Amino acid sequence: MTSERLAPPPRAFERDRSAPRAREDRAGRAAALVVGGLTCALGVLGVALALRLMGGSETTRLSRPPAPTPIPVEHVRDLARPAPVEAAERGTPSDPAGAPSADDPTEFEGRGSIRGRVSAARGARFPSRWTAVVRPSLYLRGKERAVERAVEHTGDEREFTVGDLPLGGYDLTIEAPGMNSQVLPVLLVRGSEHPFVTITVSPTGFLHGLVVGEDGSLAPDLTVTLERTATKLRSTTVTGPTGAWRFEDVPDGEYRLYFGAVEAPLLPFDELSFRAPSMHFPLRELPPTAALWIYTVDTAGHRVGGVKVQGFGSAGGRIRGTTDGDGALLVRYLPPGHFNLSARDDAGRRGKMVADLELGPAQELNIPVR
């Protein structure tokens, strides 16, 4: 029988030789945690100390920015309202200093005058006769209250007064033979009822041009009318043998120019702005027209002179003239169409006739008067 010898059990410290190393690891981790905690605590204490230094002895608390204080509604309205305009800035260049504003209903109450002095441009001779003329202004306010007035002067007198004028907007000019005047706007209002102005006159100029037929042919004896836009005053001339025309003593201003009768011009009227001393108007060409010889005769067929003839056409054109001593009248530049004519002399004899005008050679027509 074989006997086995049992080994004695190991000692307690020999049961797990790794136990001391595990204890060392746990101790290291604990020490690390302690060190980390101390570091965090020191950080918190540092932040607290910094906050105390910045904000005083009390602890500073972070919060949202305070809300803006609301502005009362009436203050908002005041801010939106434009700033008041100073009195010196309320006037306009056309208004006299210190004049009432345009909204003042009493600014045109009362009467006034326009006083002034006239001078001649350098090198020009002062006119021996001249007239100060005021008319309702084309642009100034109060023009509907203004009136037209003229005061004549002769000799060496150079100052004028146009008095007893309703307050309003006026245009002042100086009219004199062969002299040209600017148009001077003058506003009469309460507070400036008697302004004093200065105005200069200078020599007028001349306007000229040329008109031809539709094929470039000469256009003699054509009526040309120059109408001033502001006053509607008209001057009339006729073209010469070559179709040339000319207006003398033309004042500066805006005009309309008509070729043919104003009531039925052969071309649309032209607008022009004239400035002395002269202006050459561009060439104008007429549309195709017809010509008519008119003879006035008595009941026996004898020609009668000095008879006034008038007529109008269906396509435009006017006939107006007097037969000569031979009872003949030549009318040019008539548009083709149907014409109604009437004739009358100083003795009371009358006659009527109708005619159809065509393009081509001049036609002839007898009008009996009885």
223-228 vs 234-238, strand pairing mode: antiparallel
Q: What is the pLDDT of residues 51-81, one digit of tens each?
A: 454 444 343 344 444 544 454 444 333 333 4
Quick one: pLDDT at residue 25?
53
Task: State the pLDDT confidence band at 105, using cuts at 50, 70 and 90.
Answer: confident
pLDDT at 39: 53
Residue 316 — pLDDT band, cuts 50, 70, 90? confident
Which residue is listed with tokens 């004549």? 152
- For 350, what's the count of Cα atoms within 13 Å in the CB-facing half-sphere? 4
Q: What pLDDT is recorded for position 323?
A: 97
Q: Which of 35-49, 163-177, 318-332 has the lowest mean pLDDT?
A: 35-49
Query: Predicted confidence band at 125 (pLDDT cuts at 50, 70, 90)?
Result: very high
| Residue 3 domain flag | no
- Residue 287: which of 247, 320, 260, 255 has the closest Cα? 260
Q: What is the pLDDT of residue 99?
A: 56
Tell whether 24 is covered by a domain: no
- Indicate if 358 and 326 belong to the same structural domain: yes
Of how many residues is the chain composed? 370
Q: Are residues 173 and 190 in the same domain?
A: yes
User: What does the alpha-carbon distance between residue 170 and residue 54 come to, in Å, rounded to a whole number?
Assistant: 79
| C-alpha to C-alpha distance for 199 and 160, rounded to whole angstroms | 11
Helix, strand, coil % in the chain, rounded to nearest 5: 15, 40, 45
User: Are 132 and 173 part of one and the same domain?
Assistant: yes
Model pLDDT, residue 28: 53
Determine what percent of the chain is predicted with pLDDT higher than 70: 72
Does residue 162 sit in the same domain as residue 142?
Answer: yes
pLDDT band of 43, cuts 50, 70, 90: low
b/e map of 120-134 (b: 16 or more CB within 10 Å)? beeeeeebeebbbbb
Are 276 and 296 contained in the same domain? Answer: no
**Other CB atoms closer than 10 Å to residue 294's CB: what's the count?**
24
Would you say residue 272 has pLDDT above 80?
yes
Asked if residue 170 belongs to a domain, the reply is: yes
Q: What is the CATH number of the domain that holds 317?
A: 2.60.40.1120
314 and 272 share one domain: no
Token pair 């302690």 in the structure block, residue:
34
Residue (of 161, 153, 203) closest to 186 by Cα position: 161
| Bridge-based pairing state of the strands 179-181 and 196-203 | antiparallel
Last residue of a domain, one of 229, 258, 285: 285
What mean pLDDT is predicted for residues 19-48? 50
Q: Is residue 93 part of a domain?
A: no
CA atoms within 13 A on the CB side of 120: 17
Cβ-based burial of 154 (10 A; exposed 0-12, middle 13-18, buried ≥19): exposed
- Rounded CA gap, 248 and 242, in Å? 19
| In a shared domain, residues 210 and 159 | no
How many domains does the chain divide into?
A: 3
Q: Is residue 254 part of a domain?
A: yes
pLDDT of residue 229: 93
Q: Give the structural domain span for 354.
A: 290-368
pLDDT of residue 156: 84
Q: Does residue 284 or residue 36 have the better pLDDT?
A: 284
Q: Rounded distance, CA 245 to CA 279, Å? A: 12
Question: At which of 243, 265, 285 does a domain end?
Answer: 285
277 and 295 share one domain: no
- In this structure, the answer to whether residues 274 and 340 fall within a common structural domain is no
* Short-list 323, 293, 301, CA closest to 368: 301
* CA angle 286–358–223, rounded 5-degree value: 35
Examine the domain organization and report whether 120 and 196 are in the same domain.
yes
Count of CB atoms situated within 10 Å of the CB of 36: 10
Q: Considering the chain, what is the average pLDDT of its residues? A: 81
143 in any annotated domain: yes
Give every CB contact of residue 137 below 8 A, 6+ residues apart in sequence. Answer: 143, 146, 168, 169, 170, 171, 185, 186, 187
Distance CA 281, CA 46 (A): 99
Looking at the domain assignment, is residue 53 inside a domain?
no
Whether the upstream peptide bond of residue 277 has omega within 30° of 0, thus cis, is: yes
199 and 115 in a common domain: yes
Give the C-alpha separation, 17 to 36, whole Å.
Answer: 31
305 is a domain residue: yes
Above 90 in pLDDT, residue 88?
no
Which pLDDT score is estimated for 192? 96
Structural contact between residues 113 and 186, judged by C-beta atoms closer than 8 angstroms: no
List helix spans (H) across the chain: 19-55, 73-80
CATH code, domain with 187: 2.60.40.10
Residue range 325-354, pLDDT digits in tens: 999 999 999 999 999 999 999 999 999 999
Q: What is the mean pLDDT of residues 33-39?
A: 51
Of the residues 203, 229, 264, the one at which a domain ends: 203
pLDDT class of 186 with cuts at 50, 70, 90: very high
pLDDT tens digits, 91-102: 333 444 445 655
- Rounded Cα distance between 219 and 244, Å, is 8
Is residue 274 pLDDT above 60, yes or no? yes
Pick the residue with more confidence: 141 or 80? Answer: 141
Residues 296 and 242 in one domain: no
